[in-house]
Amino acid sequence: MSANLSRQSAITAITNYTAPEASFSFADTKPTELFGCNVFNDNVMKDRLPKKVYKSVKKTIEEGAVLDPTVADAVANAMKEWAMEKGATHYTHVFYPLTGLTAEKHDGFLSPDGKGNAIAEFEGKLLIQGEPDASSFPNGGLRATFEARGYTAWDVTSPAYILENPNGTFLCIPTAFISWKGEALDKKTPLLRANQAVNKSAQRILKIFGDDSGKRVVSNAGPEQEYFLIDRNFFFARPDLQMAGRTLFGAKPAKGQELDDHYFGAIPRRVLSFMMDVEHQLYKLGVPVKTRHNEVAPGQFEIAPVYEQSNIATDHNQMVMTTLKSVAKKHGMACLLHEKPFAGINGSGKHLNYSLSCSGHGSLFDPGENPTENAQFLIFCAAVIRSVHKYSKLLRAVVATASNDHRLGANEAPPAILSIFLGDHLSEIFSKIQEGNSPTPTSTGFLKAGVDTLPPLPRDAGDRNRTSPFAFTGNRFEFRAVGSNSSIAGPQVAINTMIADSLDYIADELEAFMGGDESKLNDAVNKVIKDIMDTHGQIVFNGDGYSDAWHKEAVEKRGLPNLRTSADAIPEISSPEVVELFTKYSVFTKEELDSRTEIYLEQYNQAIVTEAALVVKLAKTHIFPGAVRYQKELAETCANMKTIGVPFTTDVLTEVTDKLRSMQAAVVELEKIMDAKPSDGVEEEAKYLCCTALPAMLEVRKYADSLEEVVADDLWCLPSYSEMLFIK
Ligand code: ADP
Ligand code: MG
């Protein structure tokens, strides 16, 4: 097969392709009947579990009580019966290793009974603990080979569910993945720990404000998932997309996103059919997906669920990512979750909407109906202000991946500098308190007095500032720097733990000031807020986060860190202040943090090494041959013309030849750079790859892309940006 067939045949295949309609119709099955039908949820448990067992499990789920192991047999049995009635033959402990992906190991329910028959078996101990042969998952030195076992532990708080396949179904049990010493090897374990930490600290605050009911405070997440869809034929004609998740070459399309005609535009029929199929599957799994729309870039879309408790929202987001990918295949497309599949075109993020809530209070970031609630609201916001400032490097580190670096700070996504957007109203209140003045009425009449008599605050944050990495949006904060491809667990672990720390700091201060005298609460609140604003107020910024002026001001005047790349950011996970924070709340040990730093740096390095190898290979095997063929044609034409004495300009030939020569030189340079890669530690390697290899790859790309602009179209074998983005 000649090289150019890959692109041309992709186009032919797409032209002849009839996209399938969604394989079901919402007209036949109502979404309400569908929702959660494959989930071992509360209703199923109530129906099928002995009352005592049901109550005990509920207590663990709702109040965080320690799981009573004696109930496991009963639950396992009910789960098995339920799953087998739904056609399941196997069960799997689903876990979330540090690769960021979802992992599963399948076991059959059937066991031989010794008489030539098989019986269905699933006992409590199989439910509670599994031992996948998972020694090849990254562990950053936590597991020496002789103790390479990792265990999965049943997470009662995230419901089991059934996954359907064309050839059968199986029961999925969400689990934590830990070493035999109990060290976290996954993304879930620290999240469960961080949830406990923030609950405890938040309750201290609620108690100071008069609520000592001990009701659990939970953190919630609503992740808005962005993604690209392209036809699968194009995907398979682009080795870079397949292997690296992003295009390493590609000239800018004539039509990009400048016209903004895609955003919220009508969803193409093929895509709509895909989306409905995705929703159909996710409804069955009890994932409350709610919104779907086109995004800014051509070929880019978003799916967002209604927010849920953090642990469940995290598992559900993993299901969303898996489902998007598998359903895309069914519809003849590939779903790209990479943060920047196409240079120069908007990338994909995952806005993490975050709140803390408690039954009876709703969101603790919701301005209240009366003065006490408002003061409490301000205290929770103050905790966020202190946290984001004090731990801004950590927040940058938990969104650091090789792929997200291409998006952050690229004038479409928040900058790598962390700041908080509060909106004008809320900022004014905080400034007034800092100045020692009571907030005065504004033209809207919302704010009248000091904390002690604050009237209802405006619920709407006003302008929706899209350039802020951490924005208050009325009743929650939106962390916008998270990458589309990442698990949302890491960011939530960090946010919950830093807020726990700030709430404890505030509780200590309030208690010390009041000395047991409740009447001093308002003065104490004012003082704590003033102190926090004096020390951490420079993190508040309501302006344009994309502007150069802000970058200058943030770093030079406000002293905010600007960790531009993941190579700078990831090592922060092991910094003394971060170790102190996480060990204080028993969310991570130092060893666990060090292992994560190492794993994330290794992943960063691996991503760039893979990309560099692909750049070299594609330049040599895809771009060079096409350009040389064109060069040959041009040279022959010139020679022929010369023989018959017709003047013919050699400009194009010279241009192609120059660009080819430059590209070759750049490839040689890149190869040299990769050969000289240091081997004295992952951190040095990361810095080197970031500062040396990435620019050298761009150099190759520069010439390759400029060749794409001149080489005959029929000789160019990689599908172009406009084809991939616009042909559906
Ligand atoms: P926008 O694009 O304007 O930010 P979306 O509706 O796309 O809005 O997404 C908002 C997300 O925020 C949804 O997932 C929504 O459920 C979630 N959300 C709303 N309220 C809260 C809250 N109190 N805590 C956490 N997430 C929330
Ligand atoms: Mg949003």
Residue position matching structure tokens 């993993």:
318
Q: What is the DSSP string of 241-282?
A: HHHHSS-S--PPPSS-STT--STT-PPPHHHHHHHHHHHHHH
443 confidence band (pLDDT: 50, 70, 90): very low
Q: Taking residues 493-520, what's their average pLDDT?
A: 97
State which H helix or E strand residue 359 sits in.
Answer: none
Which pLDDT score is estimated for 147?
54
- Pick the atom of ligand 1 nearest to 363's CA: 23
- Average pLDDT of 471-482? 94
Q: What is the pLDDT of residue 449?
A: 30
Q: What is the pLDDT of residue 145?
A: 45
Tokens (6 digits) for 653: 């030939």
Which residues is 95 bridged to in the sheet?
A: 103
Question: What is the rounded average pLDDT of the residues 293-311?
Answer: 91
- Tokens describing residue 461: 């944050």
Q: Which helix (H) or strand (E) holds 161?
A: strand 161-165
Among 276-290, 369-383, 520-534, 586-600, which stretch is predicted with the lowest mean pLDDT? 369-383
Residue 524's pLDDT is what? 95
Closest-CA residue, ligand 1 atom 24, reads 355
Looking at residue 446, its pLDDT comes to 38
Say which range, 73-77, 256-260, 702-706, has the weakest mean pLDDT. 256-260
Global pTM reads: 0.93
% of residues, the chain, pLDDT over 70:
92
In the structure encoding, which two tokens stand for residue 87, read together?
């056609």
Contact 350, 223 (CB under 8 A): yes
pLDDT digits 0-9 by tens, 67-98:
888 889 999 999 999 999 999 999 999 999 99
Question: pLDDT band at 287, cuts 50/70/90?
Answer: very high
Looking at residue 450, what is its pLDDT? 37
3-state secondary structure of 3: coil
Query: Is the pLDDT at 523 greater than 70, yes or no?
Result: yes
What is the whole-number distance in angstroms between the Cα of residue 461 and the centre of ligand 1?
14
Pocket test for ligand 1, best of 217, 308, 312, 353 (most atoms within 8 A of CB): 353
pLDDT over 80 at 173, yes or no: yes
Question: How confident is residue 283, by pLDDT bands cut at 50, 70 and 90?
Answer: very high
Q: Which residue has the tokens 């036949």?
A: 28
Give me ligand 2 centre to Cα 338, in Å: 19
CA angle 314–70–104, rounded 5-degree value:
35
Number of H helices, E strands in the chain: 25, 18
Q: pLDDT, tens digit, for every residue of 31-65?
A: 788 999 999 999 999 999 999 999 999 988 888 78
DSSP state string for 367-417: --SSHHHHHHHHHHHHHHHHHHHHTHHHHHHTT--TTGGGTTTSSSS--SS
**pLDDT number for residue 146:** 46
Domains of the chain: 35-183 (3.10.20.70), 603-726 (1.20.120.1560)
pLDDT at 4 over 70: no
* Mean pLDDT, the chain, whole residue set: 89
Q: Grade residue 286 by pLDDT with cuts at 50, 70 and 90.
A: very high
pLDDT > 80? residue 390:
yes
Q: Counting atoms of ligand 1 from 1, which one is nearest the CA of 302?
A: 7
Which of 476, 479, 492, 496 to mutate to test ligand 1, by most ligand atoms within 8 A of the CB atom? 476
Segment 457-470 mean pLDDT = 66
From the CA of 474, which ligand is nearest?
1
Q: What is the pLDDT of residue 151?
A: 85
Residue of 520 and 23 predicted with greater confidence: 520
Give yes or no for residue 289 having a pLDDT over 60. Answer: yes
Give, to the nearest 10 degrees, the angle between helix 489-514 and helix 310-330: 160
**Ion ligand 2 contact residues with beta carbon within 5 A:** 351
Question: Per-residue confidence at 455, pLDDT binned at 50, 70, 90?
Answer: very low
Distance CA 266, CA 294 (A): 8
Between CA 551 and CA 724 the distance in angstroms is 34
CB atoms closer than 10 angstroms to residue 233: 24
Whole-number Å distance, alpha carbon 307 to ligand 1 midpoint, is: 6
Q: Please state the φ and ψ torsions of residue 110, each to the nearest 5 degrees.
A: -80, 135
Which of the 8 DSSP states describes residue 554? I
pLDDT in tens, 119-169: 788 888 888 887 776 666 777 767 554 456 788 889 999 999 999 987 789
Q: At what angle do helices 51-63 and 72-85 cross, to 10 degrees?
A: 100
Average pLDDT over residues 96-115: 84
Q: Which two tokens stand for residue 402?
A: 């090789």
438 pLDDT band, cuts 50/70/90, is low
Contact predicate 364/430, CB 8 Å:
no
Among candidates 457, 451, 379, 454, which has minimal Cα distance to 204? 379
Write out residues with Cβ below 6 Å of ligand 1: 220, 222, 224, 291, 304-307, 351, 353-355, 363, 475-476
Q: Can you tell me the distance from the alpha carbon of 150 to that of 185, in angstroms, rounded to the nearest whole number?
A: 8
Pocket test for ligand 1, best of 198, 224, 357 (most atoms within 8 A of CB): 224
pLDDT of residue 96: 92
Q: What is the pLDDT at residue 298?
A: 85
Q: Whose CA is nearest to atom 1 of ligand 1?
A: 224
- Give the pLDDT score at 576: 98
Question: pLDDT of 12-36, one tens digit each?
Answer: 888 888 877 777 777 777 778 899 9
From residue 243, alpha-carbon distances to 90, 264, 377, 605, 615 in Å are 31, 31, 47, 15, 11
CA–CA gap between residue 403 and residue 72 (Å, rounded): 42
**Model pLDDT, residue 25:** 74
For ligand 1, atom 19, which residue shows the shortest CA distance? 307
Give the Cα separation of 29 and 705 in Å (integer). 49
Task: Give residue 646's pLDDT.
Answer: 85
